[in-house]
Homo-oligomer: A and B are copies of this chain.
Amino acid sequence: MASTIEDVAARAGVSTATVSRAMRGLDGVSKRSRDKVLEAARELGYVVSPTAQALATGHTGMIAVIVPTFNEWFSANVLEGAQRRLQSAGRLTAVLSASAVRGRPDYDVDVVSLRRRIDGVVNVSLPLTDEETREVAGLGVPVIAVGNPSPPFASVSLADREAGRIATRHLVNLGHRVIAYISGSRDELEPNTPGGQRLEGWRDVLVEEGLEHGPDLVVNSFFDVRGGHDAVLELLERRPDVTAVFAAADMIATGAMVALSEYGLRVPEDISIIGVDGDDTDPWVQLTTVVQDPAEMGAMAADLLLQIIGGGAVPEMTLVHGRLRPGRTTARPRDPEAADASPRRPPRR
């Protein structure tokens, strides 16, 4: 069943070297030989042994994609996009997940298991420790980061600061004057993280407009639905006069909306909310958001990797533009003038 290169060579009446060249489409093979080889291979159902090929060349044809967890919109779609692109380039995708436990730093990125097995790595939004960075670099293969820039590796990510500007600009244009920003955990607001960059974008616009942008209006919590929920409650306590919220992600926005509803506030009548991502978590809500396309980013990462492997050079940082997608969760503020004057209903619970 499993025929070898020798079988093909014998059948085609040529040497194994010629079969090897012909099968890989190298030139320096006469059309006649090539045809004979291809014909013989077809008849025998011959497929090159990737294993033997790898041993001989040192290239495995395999790319590893590392994700924090598979069950998450961004990672899953980056993986999807990367895997498709890699597959059509004739490569297999191996996967590694770091931790199923959200928010816990005890990742278990088993980098060693990748040694000598792969030709490149795509790291999807997993913040690497210095130790891990060294380990990954020690694999001796090119690495591309997606989502989080993670030096010294090249990266593909959303133009986060710009996304923050787009979102905030949208709210300002609608007439909002007191605009809050809610985001993931405090740790995430370091300047080089997506959350931190989106914060910068928010600030950019508010500064430009001469609007308030103090720490009062920034709330950090966890990067999930529950986090958004809690963040917005904290926000309302601090600043009951807020009329619009920019959430660093759609999940956060979703949690925020739940909390607002519990609080007795309507969206967008009483308060506007905008997110980032465009995952269609709940298509019925029609959240206004800044859309990004992780599958496309995964495909781009794959391309970059293949390019490096092919000996090319690639930009250190590839930024992908987000796009405003207006939904039903943002509107003009109800009564800009009297906003502070009319007290809101107290929480129902």
Interface residues of A (CB under 8 A from B): 1-2, 47, 49-52, 54-55, 60, 62, 69-73, 76-77, 79-80, 83-84, 87, 90, 92-97, 100, 110, 112-117, 140, 225-226, 258, 282-284, 295
Please tell me if the beta carbons of A76 and B80 are within 8 angstroms of each other in the complex: no
List the 6 shortest-distance A-B pairs measured between CB atoms, nearest first.
Answer: A71-B76, A70-B76, A51-B54, A70-B80, A47-B115, A51-B55
| Contact among B1, B70, B110 with A79 in the assembled complex (CB-CB below 8 Å) | B70
A94 touches B94 (CB 8 A): yes
Chain B residues lying within 8 Å of A115, measured Cβ to Cβ, are 47
Q: Would you call A83 and B95 a contact (CB within 8 A)? A: yes
Does A226 lie within 8 Å of B71, measured CB to CB? no
B116 touches A51 (CB 8 A): yes
A interface, over-half SS: mixed
Least Cβ distance of A227 to chain B in Å?
12
- Whole-angstrom CA separation of A339 from B84 in the bound complex: 53
Please report the C-alpha to C-alpha distance between residue A283 and residue B282 in the assembled complex, in whole angstroms. Answer: 13
A100 and B84 contacting across the interface, CB-CB below 8 Å: yes
Min distance, Cβ A347 to any Cβ of chain B, angstroms: 15
- Tell whether A140 pairs with B100 under 8 Å between CB atoms, given A47-B115, A92-B94, A283-B226: no
Q: Is the CB of B60 within 8 A of A80?
A: no
A97 to chain B: which residues have CB within 8 Å?
A: 80, 83-84
Q: Complex formed: what's the CA distance from A282 to B140 in Å? A: 43
In the complex, are the beta carbons of A117 and B96 less than 8 A apart?
no
Find the B residue at minimum CB distance from A226. Answer: B283
Contacts of A258 in B (CB 8 A): 284
A186 to B49, CA, bound (A): 42
B62 close to A70 (CB less than 8 A): no
- Choice from B60, B69, B76, B282 contacting A51 with Cβ under 8 Å: B60
State in angstroms the CA–CA spacing of A93 and B77 once bound together.
18
**Bound: A92/B79 CA distance, A:** 16
- Contacting residues, chain B, for A95 (C-beta < 8 A): 79, 83, 93-95
**Closest chain B residue to A73, Cβ basis:** B71
- Chain B residue with the shortest CB-CB distance to A60: B51
Question: What is the minimal beta-carbon distance from A16 to any residue of chain B, in angstroms?
Answer: 16
In the complex the two chains form, what is the Cα distance from A87 to B98 in whole Å? 11
Contact residues in B for A114 (Cβ distance below 8 Å): 92
Q: Are A62 and B112 in contact (CB under 8 A)?
A: no
Is there an interface contact between A49 and B283, defined as CB atoms closer than 8 Å?
A: no
Q: Are B2 and A116 in contact (CB under 8 A)?
A: yes
